[in-house]
Amino acid sequence: MKQNAWIAGVGMTNFTKHADRTLKSLSIEAINEALKDADMTANQLEAAYMATAGTAVTVGQVMVPGQAALREMNIGGIPVVNVENACASAATSFQQACTMVTHGVHDVVLAVGFEKLYCEDKAKTFSVFTGAVDFESFDTVTEKIYGRIKDAGIDVDGDGAGNTRSLFMDIYAAMAVEHMRDYGSTREDFAAVSAKTSFHGSLNPKAQYQDVLTTQDVLATREISYPLTLGMCSPIGDGAAAAVIVSENFAKRMSKNRLVKVRASVLNSGWDYEDNQPGVTETVANQAYDLAEVGPEELDVVELHDASAPAELMYYETLGLCPKGEGASFIREGHSKLGGKTPVNPSGGLLRKGHPVGATGLAQVHELVTQLRGEAGKRQVDNAKIGLAENGGGYIGKDAAAMVISVLER
């Protein structure tokens, strides 16, 4: 649906290993920062959408994580909706908050994503990702994934998935080898994405990793699942991000110079489509473009779900930033770096900013709002007016189980 909502404030913790922090303390930090940014108080909030994806496993907090966190801030007596939607959890909370404001149900809504993925037992952390597929059909799911890799001419050991690496790295590996086979992309192209993004991340003080890597540095890191090396894979992290969303009527009473308009925010799920039909990302992107009344050529800045470097390269194509099969050329020609045609992931993306699953979508919103306000400092995209956030999660059939794409405007 067409949105009519405004972002009044955003907040975000550093993304890193917060071994000494509680889940609640991370969410509270992000919420307080968002409220301060909006020049609002907690008692003005009319509802809250609280997203976390893996902490039922890693922390043990189930069912009421949102209420538990908000109670620490003396926030209660309002509707609190806990959201779990794989890696798209925070983006879903954002989309739902915007929708409730657009429909006139509330004037001021809080959207939060918070996560603690670091755990002494790494098997617990990896099990979060293993569970983000149709678990009752797990053997069938993995058989299809490894069948795709084998069909592309690559032999892979599937025993490590869920134990020494996330199952999703094998899913991305399958997509990558198919792209290499069909379009001629190379490991060097994927490594170039990571190198580009590492430079962006070095300019973001909230990023988990801030060192700059070369293409050769990325290729030299240990292999995770061919063709992926460690430098091409997003890290596990902890953190939180938040946004305060307000209605048009409420926005009229606020200073407009820092408000950001939500032109579209579309949530959809994966389905069984034929090979010659558009997938979930392309379909949702087109829905968002139609609702926002913009095209991909009008985007000034993009934050997308680069859980792996090949994913970013392929999203260039499915989001319409370049034609199908030309993602490798897009990175080779420098179009996605700062100063390029369409800068992608100036925050450092999931690869360098980090990927606390339940917080990622709102971290993307945080970056876009910062960019559209012109407050991004050394990583500022020149004259950024329109930004897009793409956040997918889970795996169903042969594509993302959940997808949220939002278009924001200065």
Say what the pLDDT of residue 255 is. Answer: 82
Q: Residue 158: which residues within 8 A CB-CB, separation 6 or more?
A: 142, 145, 146, 170
User: What rounded mean pLDDT belongs to the chain?
Assistant: 95
How many CA atoms lie less than 13 Å away from 123 in the CB half-sphere? 2
Token reading at 319: 């989001």
Per-domain boundaries in the chain: 2-120+236-409
Residue 122: pLDDT above 90? no
- At residue 158, the 3 state secondary structure works out as helix
The token pair at 218 is 């990325």
pLDDT at 110 over 90: yes
Residue 12, pLDDT > 80, answer: yes
pTM over 0.75: yes
> For 36-75, what is each residue's pLDDT tens digit?
999 999 999 999 999 999 999 999 999 999 999 999 999 9
What mean pLDDT comes out for the span 378-398?
Answer: 97
Does residue 92 contact residue 360 with C-beta atoms inside 8 Å? no
Alpha-carbon gap, residue 298 to 407, rounded angstroms: 11
pLDDT digits (tens, 9 = 90+) for 155-184: 777 777 777 788 899 999 999 999 999 999
Q: For 319-367, how does the pLDDT look when each residue is reduced to its tens digit (9 = 90+)?
A: 999 999 999 999 999 999 999 999 999 999 999 999 999 999 999 999 9
Give the residue from 389, 359, 358 showing the smallest Cα distance to 265. 389
What residues does 301 pair with on adjacent strands? 387
Between CA 386 and CA 47 the distance in angstroms is: 27
Mean pLDDT confidence for 89-104:
98
* 213-260 pLDDT per residue, tens: 999 999 999 999 999 999 999 999 999 999 999 999 999 999 888 999
Report DSSP letters for 134-183, one per residue. Answer: -GGGHHHHHHHHHHHHHHTT----GGGBTTTB-HHHHHHHHHHHHHHHHH
Q: What confidence score (pLDDT) does residue 8 get?
A: 98
Specify the fold of 2-120+236-409: Peroxisomal Thiolase; Chain A, domain 1 (3.40.47)
Alpha helices in 210-326 (DSSP H): 215-220, 248-251, 280-292, 309-318
pLDDT of residue 96: 98
Which residues lie below 8 Å from residue 221, measured CB to CB, with a gap of 6+? 229, 230, 231, 232
* CA 94 to each of CA 18, 88, 202, 252, 265: distance values in angstroms, whole numbers, following the listed order: 24, 10, 27, 21, 8
Residue 1 pLDDT exceeds 80:
no
Taking only the tens place, the pLDDT of each residue in 295-325 is 999 999 999 999 999 999 999 999 999 999 9
pLDDT tops 80 at residue 32: yes
pLDDT, position 27: 98
The string of pLDDT tens digits covering residues 370-385 is 999 999 999 999 999 9
End-to-end alpha carbon distance in the chain: 20
pLDDT at 155: 78
Percentage of the chain modeled with pLDDT above 90: 88
